[in-house]
């Protein structure tokens, strides 16, 4: 009886472990272009005035396969919510500190990233967020997301590189 119980407990633990493991079995790098079309989502702040701590903005953008100088095929979408912890300072002379929460919906699942980063008011900006999990084939992944504004930072396009660990 004890042996049957022990086998049942072991089987249950293996089942829980197997369902919680990522489907990725090796480090994976995904490069995408974050670009319009997309839309700003109403959050009560619209950049008509300088931001202060507590102001938020949100947007959704389309993700395309990174193809260097060209835009590749559409591969997903990105939803982002950003909260200002500080504004840009007097006359936009200093960087602002923001908390980002971003979810990229890709084929097979989604990747969730989060982190604090400083943004310069005049762009372009570069920053890195921590991957804190995901869904589908990306369930329980870790890693980082590197974001790099393209051009002068005002064209609304970014190169995003996901470096995922199983």
Confidence of residue 38 (pLDDT cuts 50, 70, 90): confident
Q: Is the pLDDT of residue 30 over 90?
A: yes
Sign, CA torsion 48/52/54/60: positive
Q: Is 165 helix (H, G, I), strand (E, B) or coil?
A: strand
What CATH number is given to the structural domain containing 71? 2.40.480.10
Lowest-pLDDT choice from 38-42, 64-68, 80-84: 38-42
Domain that holds residue 61: 2-165
Domains held by the chain: number: 1
pLDDT of residue 13: 35
How do residues 111-122 score in pLDDT, each as one tens digit?
Answer: 999 999 999 888
pLDDT of residue 111: 98
Tell me the whole-structure pTM to 2 decimals. Answer: 0.81
pLDDT of residue 91: 66
Residue 104 burial (C-beta neighbours within 10 Å; 0-12, 13-18, 19+): buried
For the chain, give the longest Cα–Cα distance: 75
Q: Is 69 helix (H, G, I), strand (E, B) or coil?
A: coil
pLDDT of residue 48: 78
């Amino acid at each position: 009886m004890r042996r049957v119980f022990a086998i049942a407990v072991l089987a249950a633990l293996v089942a829980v472990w197997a369902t919680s493991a990522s489907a990725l079995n090796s480090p994976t790098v995904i490069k995408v272009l974050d670009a319009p079309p997309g839309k700003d989502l109403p959050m009560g702040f619209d950049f008509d005035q300088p931001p202060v701590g507590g102001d938020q903005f949100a947007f959704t953008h389309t993700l395309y396969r990174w193809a260097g100088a060209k835009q590749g095929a559409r591969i997903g979408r990105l939803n982002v919510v950003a909260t200002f912890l500080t504004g840009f300072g007097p006359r936009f002379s200093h960087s602002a500190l923001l908390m980002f929460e971003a979810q990229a919906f890709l084929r097979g699942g989604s990747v969730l990233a989060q982190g604090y980063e400083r943004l310069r008011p005049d762009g372009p900006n570069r920053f890195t967020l921590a991957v804190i999990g995901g869904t589908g084939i990306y369930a329980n992944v870790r890693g980082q997301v590197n974001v790099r504004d393209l051009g002068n930072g005002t064209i609304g396009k970014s190169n995003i590189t996901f470096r995922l660990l199983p």
